Amino acid sequence: MSQTPETVLKDIRNKRYKPLYLLHGDEPFYIDSIAEELEKRIVPESEKGFNQFVLYGKDTDVAGVLSYARRFPFMSERQLIIVKDANKLAGIDQKEQQARLEDYALNPLQSTVLVLCFNAAADERRSYVKAFDKHGVAVPSKKMYDNKLPEWVTGFCQSEGVKVSPKAVQMLVDNIGNDLKRLANEIRKIMVNLRVDEGIDASAVERFVGISKEYNVFEFQKALMTRDVLKANRIASYFSSNPKDNPLTPILIILFGFFSKVLLVHASKDKSEKVLASELSVNPYFVKDYLAAARNYPLHKAADIVHFLRDTDARMKGVDGVSIPEGELLKELVFKILH
């Protein structure tokens, strides 16, 4: 049975190694993380020249990989063979070559750790994939759903030994999206600049991730939430004059998510923070923001805003056949929301 990337990483760090790893999927973060963790631990630094080999699928074939795998390590307990872009191996889509991989997986050399890194999802119905999973481990690495990102960021920070505030989590998620590798890199970049006893808060994200303290989508959302007409228009004007750094699409996505949750607040019979946090799938810290927005925007107005956002997205894509600059669309949207 396939294991989760987190479980596999934990096993590797506890020196519970397998002779076979098949890492596959459309999320490269965990594929790279597991391969890098194995590189750190399987072969001592002084022996890497003799017992660690990194191959590339486009440059070799199944027979070449198995030739490496069947060698014995040179004066060492193990050797490590990593095949990157393994889905591009010559012959990997042929039954005969898949059978050769399966035969090896059914009786792998215990002194070899063979790692196949696919940059796409492997067909888990294939016999060789099942054999890798039975006698080693097959790890699917799938793109993470947006609603799972805050939990992932919090967990990642905990694993790195640093505290992170709910607002900082949301800022990272909204600004970066579901690019886990970039999220991890930005978090580590922040950590390098923190004091030993300091956690990651909103100001740290603003300083080290390059988010303007005043002109950013979080402050824009807050201005709309509180119906601060002056501030909302000032930020919209700034975005309009800097379209390359502030493209409209991510702004619309964030606002659509926010006002869709405001509609859910109106629809909820129980307005307690605990219940709403669960229904909205947000940290309880943010529930008060949605309650405030619900007070400022009655049900019919919140529904209108969701419609305005969809309409703006359609017009931005030229659905009506007319090309309108994003800045003008944004200013028009702000007027419709606030009036």
Identify the pLDDT of residue 147: 82
Half-sphere exposure of 1 (CA within 13 A, CB side): 2
Instruction: Report the candidate in 92, 22, 93 with the shortest Cα–Cα distance to residue 63.
Output: 92
Instruction: Say what the pTM is.
Output: 0.72
SS3 state of residue 165: coil
Identify the pLDDT of residue 2: 64
Half-sphere exposure of 255 (CA within 13 A, CB side): 30
Identify the pLDDT of residue 154: 93
What dihedral do alpha carbons 229, 231, 232, 235 form, nearest 10°?
150
Identify the pLDDT of residue 212: 75
The total of other beta-carbon atoms located within 10 Å of residue 147's CB is 12
The total of other beta-carbon atoms located within 10 Å of residue 105's CB is 25
* Residue ranges of domains in the chain, CATH in brackets: 5-140 (3.40.50.300), 146-208 (1.10.8.60), 217-338 (1.20.272.10)
**Is residue 1 pLDDT above 60, yes or no?**
no
CA 137 – CA 30 distance, rounded (Å): 14
Identify the pLDDT of residue 146: 83
What is the per-residue pLDDT across 46-89, written as a single tens digit (0 to 9) for each? 899 899 999 999 999 999 999 999 999 998 899 999 999 999 99
Half-sphere exposure of 251 (CA within 13 A, CB side): 30
Cα separation values, 20 from 17, 108, 166, 263, Å: 9, 8, 39, 49
SS3 state of residue 322: coil
DSSP annotation of 46: G
Let me know how many helices (H) and strands (E) the chain has, helices first. Answer: 17, 5
What is the per-residue pLDDT across 228-244, written as a single tens digit (0 to 9) for each? 999 999 999 999 888 88
What is the per-residue pLDDT across 94-131, written as a single tens digit (0 to 9) for each? 999 999 999 999 999 999 999 999 989 888 899 999 99
Which amino acid, 316?
Answer: M
**Strand ranges across the sheet with 137-140:** 52-56, 79-84, 112-117, 20-24, 137-140
Q: Kindly state the helix (H) or strand (E) to which residue 115 belongs, with its residue range.
A: strand 112-117
Identify the pLDDT of residue 245: 81
Helices 326-338 and 248-267, interaxial angle, to 10°? 20
